[in-house]
Amino acid sequence: MGRKLLAAGQLAEALSHYHSAVEGDPKNYLTYYKRATIYLAMGKFRSALPDLSKAIELKPDFLAARLQRGNIFLKQGNTEEAKQDFEAVLQSDPSHKEAQSQLARLTELEVSMQEAQAAYQRTDYSGAIRILEQAIEISPWDPEAKELRAECYLMLGEYNKAILDLKPTTKLRADNRAAFLKLSQLYYGLGEHEEALVQVRECLKLDQDDKACFAHYKQAKKLSKQLETAEEHVRAQRYEDAIDKYKAAMKTEPQVEVYTTKAKARICHCLSKSKQPQEAIDVCTEAHQRDPHNIFILRDRAEAYILNDEFQKAVEDYQEAKEFDGENEEVKEGLERAQKLLKQSKKRDYYKILGIRRNDNKQEILKAYRKLAQQWHPDNFQSEDEKKEAEKKFIDIAAAKEVLTDPDMRQKFDAGEDPLDPENQQGGGGHPHQWPFEFNPFGSGNFHFKFHFN
């Protein structure tokens, strides 16, 4: 039954049957060998080794088991044990081609490792990496070869490649706390604090009293908690609290530049979102210098420029962001809006008419409106020319109040569209200072009406 299941590729079921077969006949060398082949098919080479050794113990001249065990030893980089098995095969069968070939590969491996060590010692890290590629092809389960190549990558500043080599060594070598710690430190240095915590926790699972791992764990956990809390504040739009946490994170880790860069970028975002344009521009500019290809920093600075009525600069930032990521919808929409606002600024700007900021609330808008309406009421002027000029200003003031106190119209205006501009109305036509209400109180030209400052 085990053989049938094995032939059908049902490895787990076949393994279960061979477990029973071994228990039923513990002196059958073939049963151990078959179970070992299943383990190998499942990628469990460590489990296969005891079965192959048992098969050889029961039948010392069983060449297939010796060859298979020698192959595993060779892949593990255990050259002495592998050599003993291949030589034992050749003693029984001097013309055995596979044993001869594997013995030659073993010699090649030993030479490669010696040459790689020598290249590393003379700081020829690129040369060592090239040599180790050949060695790792022969012994892919050898942690020593991968660890040496990882060290070479570290010396060359190729941290992600070092990580790729170190990760498998945590399974290839028992109790490899050093690899878990180094992985955690590498991730931490790359700004991936969450993955750093994952790796250092694996170290502490092996030994909770490991001093080096525990010290690094405390640092990574503190920083990670601060950054996570900051992001929670951002999601809840508690921007000032978020800024405080980002500043605290920079104090917690002043040595690793990537965290300062990330914190500056997020503070830039918070200041822009909380409508503090000048502060946002200053921080975003510093963040942009640190990370010039970050489109989100450019976006946040562009939004701060818009709040500051610097539309040309906003357009330039969005254009730069688009060069880095031309498919980003937020950037494309932002650029279109900034271009509309720039065009609009050359026409009638309701914020400038009332002398207010873009983030002022309705109460501040009405206050500015009342003051200007009183100042420019046509009844305050005597000559016809003065009255005409006052009428023009008064209509602009009333139009600004009408647009900026209506949420829908203000939203349109902030998006770069003047809701009172005849060009934006269906059918077009009209006068640029058309009265926005249902009637024009200056239609008769006599200006004798009672004005209500609502």
Which pTM value belongs to this model? 0.72
Write down the H helix ranges in 253-377.
257-273, 277-290, 295-307, 311-324, 329-345, 350-354, 362-375
Q: Report the distance separating Cα 410 and Cα 299, nearest Å.
A: 22
Average pLDDT of span 329-337: 95
Evaluate whether 210 touches 177 at the Cβ level (below 8 Å): yes
**Other beta carbons within 10 Å of 424:** 11
- Residues 241-255: what's their mean pLDDT? 97
pLDDT band at 198, cuts 50/70/90? very high
Alpha carbon distance, N-terminus to C-terminus of the chain: 93
Question: Residue holding tokens 């989100």?
Answer: 296
Question: What structural domains does the chain harbor?
Answer: 1-110 (1.25.40.10), 268-273+281-345 (1.25.40.10), 350-415 (1.10.287.110)
Q: Does 434 score more than 70 pLDDT?
A: no
Say if CB 335 and CB 318 are below 8 A apart: yes
Quick one: pLDDT at residue 174? Answer: 85
User: For the residues 262-274, what does the mean pLDDT come to?
Assistant: 97
Q: What is the pLDDT of residue 427?
A: 44
Match 């053989």 to its residue by tokens. 3
- Could you tell me which of 29, 49, 30 has the C-alpha nearest to residue 39? 49
Q: Which of the four pLDDT bands, split at 50, 70 and 90, describes residue 325?
A: very high
Kind plus residue range of the DSSP H or E element containing 85 = helix 79-92
CA–CA–CA angle 25, 26, 27 (5° rounding): 90
Q: In this predicted structure, what is the pLDDT of residue 441? A: 38
Give the DSSP per-residue string, 208-264: TT-HHHHHHHHHHHHHHHHHHHHHHHHHTT-HHHHHHHHHHHHHH-SS-HHHHHHHH
Q: By C-alpha distance, which of 36, 32, 53 is closest to 44?
A: 36
Q: What is the mean pLDDT of residues 247-266?
A: 96
> What phi and psi values does residue 376 have, to the nearest 5 degrees?
-105, 15
Report the distance separating Cα 130 and Cα 388, nearest Å. 85
